[in-house]
A and B are shown apart, each in its own frame.
Chain A
Amino acid sequence: MSKPVKSISSPIRLEYTYSAGEAPTRFLRGLAQKKIIGQRCPVTGKVYVPSAGASPTHGVPTVGEVEVSDKGIITTFCIVRIPAENLSVQAPFVAASVLLDGADIALFHVVDECPLEEARMGMRVQAVWVPDEELSPSLRSIKYFKPIDEPDADFESYKEHL
């Protein structure tokens, strides 16, 4: 007597070719040159990094090329303790929202060279780039952000970015 079939395994593999889009392309090409480039919302003047091409509040194209610093502050963060297949870093690590000087929204990245218990909101950090020969149009050109010896930002100065 054979056992009833309870489940089947059906592997799915699909390949897609994605277009970054005009605005993201500028951002990514900038990264290959160790530049972090955002765009401005023509209505509010806010600098979006990276820009997806649209100002989310107004539905209009973001414009221009605004280079922002590769230094900034941690607005908020968490310590990730679970590993996952797609990630390049080893757990535990600090994942943080980093508000770069000159930008008006934070971008999410990893913080390293920082003891976990020292990670804090307002901490000044700077991008650590991969070696020149490994630069590419990708956020992986930034290996991680590391703490730098500059005074923490005042909570009031970044609290609207939380």
Chain B
Amino acid sequence: MRDVAVVSFAQAPNKRRELVRNEVEILMPVVREAIERSGIENKEIGFICSGSSDYLAGQPFSFVTSLDAAGAWPPVCESHVEMDGAWALYEAWVKLQIGELDSALIYCFGKSSMGDISEVLSLQLDPYYMGPLWPDQMSLAALQARLLLEKGQVSERDLAEVVARSRRNAKDNPNAQLSGDFEVEELLAEPMIASPLRKHDCAPISDGAAAVVLAADDLARSVCQRPAWIAGIDHRIEAHDLGVRDLTRSPSTALAAEKAGLARAPVEVAELYAPFSHQELILREAMGLGEGVKVNPSGGALSANPVMVAGLIRIGEAAERIKNGSASRAVAHATSGACLQQNMVCVLEGR
């Protein structure tokens, strides 16, 4: 396997609602920043891969105009996944492994505020059996949370602690949407929105964009003082039907973590894409993350959740901590589908 590293990362400030700018306008400065910070010229970048969703954008072929943000002239080698940018990064990583190209730009964007995000995400469900009932993500997550609580290993207090920790960490994140100091007691005093979940247990609605530049081998070493090397990356999907899975566990995360070599050495930092507080606990367990690991120093999805972007942001945030020297080994996680159906694990190292 070739050595590939994250050499730069940029994100738009996550907002509840970006009223003025369209997706391309939000994306442009983010892509520029990622390219400038990478130290690699725009025209030198070998491959471009983006992630976005038509249904999120409310129009078909929504990724087409986004290419304008990258300046695709002369013609570029470019691809797109209708998935979170984390999977676009995976496709780019694979491409670089082939050996013909040495760098890649990955970008993703999404304005969840434009439509009713619950309704939109309901369209991810089996169109014959589940879709017509229009169950929303929150209710489905609540079913999962209920199962977890019933198991007895996790309490409502534990969920509130995840929220308090996330919001507190987010205070240091200039791009976070929600941050602040909250007492567990005051959180528990809030009403439930979809029992057993309270509003703060659920990720906010966010508009955002992010971009990452990957570089291989010597190129990474020449442009970046401390590249965040991808030591391992893998993703797995589980069955779709909620009744078929044990929703209190995440075997696909565990398997992806194993394949990515997470357990080879301890990690100091973990950025986990948990749009619901109880999911952070499920993921920690699946990945075997001990007490000493700092989870979601960025505040995680509970502080900002631009759909189609939040996964790539986890990788970017983890990479930043490697690059700035505050961690030597980190793990990032991304998820897709209701109740953690599909999961990616990316292990990053400084050397």
| Complex Cα–Cα for A59 and B41 (A) | 13
Contacting pair B131 A54 (CB below 8 A): no
The total of chain B residues at the interface (CB under 8 A) is: 33
User: Is A60 on the interface with B (CB-CB < 8 A)?
Assistant: yes
Within 8 A of B (CB), among A1-57: 8, 10, 12, 14-25, 52-57
Can you list 13 residue pairs at the A/B interface with Cβ under 8 Å? A8-B132, A10-B131, A15-B115, A19-B19, A19-B114, A21-B22, A21-B24, A22-B20, A54-B69, A56-B71, A56-B73, A57-B71, A59-B32
The total of chain A residues at the interface (CB under 8 A) is: 25
Within 8 A of B (CB), among A35-89: 52-61
Contacting pair A18 B25 (CB below 8 A): no
Most buried by B among A15, A53, A55, A57: A53
1/0 per residue B31-69: CB within 8 Å of A?
110000000001000000000000100100000010111
Residues of A within 8 A of B120 (CB): 14
Given A21-B21, A52-B65: A59 and B71 within 8 A (CB)?
Answer: yes
| Complex Cα–Cα for A114 and B115 (A) | 41
Contacting pair B28 A18 (CB below 8 A): no
Beyond the given pairs A21-B25, A52-B22, 18 more chain A to chain B contacts, judged by CB atoms under 8 angstroms and listed by A's residue number, are A14-B55, A14-B116, A16-B114, A16-B115, A19-B18, A21-B21, A21-B24, A22-B20, A52-B65, A53-B24, A55-B71, A56-B68, A56-B71, A56-B72, A57-B73, A59-B32, A59-B42, A60-B28
Contacting pair B73 A20 (CB below 8 A): no
User: Is B70 on the interface with A (CB-CB < 8 A)?
Assistant: yes
1/0 per residue B113-145: CB within 8 Å of A?
111100110010001100110000000000000
Q: Please list the residues of chain B having a beta carbon within 8 angstroms of any beta carbon in chain A.
A: 18-22, 24-25, 28, 31-32, 42, 55, 58, 65, 67-73, 111, 113-116, 119-120, 123, 127-128, 131-132
Given A8-B132, A21-B22, A24-B22: A54 and B28 within 8 A (CB)?
Answer: yes
Residues of A within 8 A of B21 (CB): 19, 21-22, 53
In the assembled complex, how far is the CB of residue A101 from the closest CB belonging to chain B, in whole angstroms? 24
Given A14-B119, A57-B71: A22 and B25 within 8 A (CB)?
Answer: yes
Q: Considering the complex, give the chain B residue whose CB is closest to the CB of A17.
A: B114
Q: Considering the complex, give the chain B residue whose CB is closest to the CB of A61.
A: B28
Residues of B within 8 A of A21 (CB): 20-22, 24-25
| Complex Cα–Cα for A141 and B24 (A) | 25
Residues of B within 8 A of A19 (CB): 18-22, 111, 114
Residues of A within 8 A of B70 (CB): 59
Residues of B within 8 A of A15 (CB): 115-116
Q: Considering the complex, give the chain A residue whose CB is closest to the CB of B23.
A: A21
Most buried by B among A19, A20, A21, A56: A19
Contacting pair B128 A8 (CB below 8 A): yes
Kindly identify which residue among A10, A23, A61 contacts B132, using a CB–CB cutoff of 8 Å: A10
| Complex Cα–Cα for A105 and B32 (A) | 25
Given A10-B131, A19-B18: A60 and B25 within 8 A (CB)?
Answer: no
Residues of B within 8 A of A23 (CB): 25
